[in-house]
Chains A and B, each alone.
Chain A
């Protein structure tokens, strides 16, 4: 069964870089399409970006200037970096799998990790 697990610092200082890892089991990151999604407390969901192991990457234009996603097939992990964070980036961050590049719906999710931006 497919499982995803986010990990990374729970507290990041303003202007610094948020770095998260998603570890995947039960599936290979060399196949399928891997996404990051976030959710500020009590609010809705915001899609951050997607990637495929072939190198295809696509970011939400609202975050594109600050986001980098990458993948390590040898570790079966993928990663998120968000630069120059502010309090507005405080949220629960989820990694999620999609079966398709287009028509992407998310059938497996990590449990989420809370990242707080504060000095």
Chain B
């Protein structure tokens, strides 16, 4: 299953609402997960099951979608949200990831 994210990068201001999309080549139901990765660090699980917030993740992060189209939203972007975000499908092995969306702060 191929995963495609858009955009590849974006620049937004603190306080902005940011939307990242992820599209799969096959329906995933809601077996879609989101990760945040900062430079030199391992990815961190943000959302699983398309919309379930991992424990400890700020509530400004939210996920939605089903089937082939999914969205990660960051409400009120914060400086610490500068990172690359990846989606990952967990519907069918081999598990696959999107190519990433780099979020920069203006």
A residues adjacent to B (C-beta < 8 A):
43-47, 50, 58, 60-62, 94, 96, 100, 102-107, 109-112
Interface residues on B, range: 20 to 34
User: In the complex, which residues of chain A have a beta carbon less than 8 angstroms from the beta carbon of B42?
Assistant: 94, 96, 109-112
Closest to B99 in A: A44
Chain A at the B interface: SS class = loop
Closest to B100 in A: A44
Question: Quick one: which of B41, B54, B94, B100 has the most chain A CB within 10 A?
Answer: B94
User: In the complex, which residues of chain A have a beta carbon less than 8 angstroms from the beta carbon of B93?
Assistant: 50, 58, 104
Assembled-state Cα–Cα distance A47/B49 (Å): 18
CB-defined A-B contacts under 8 Å, sample of 15: A44-B86, A44-B99, A44-B100, A45-B43, A45-B86, A100-B90, A102-B90, A103-B91, A104-B95, A105-B90, A106-B33, A106-B43, A106-B88, A107-B54, A112-B41
Assembled-state Cα–Cα distance A107/B44 (Å): 7
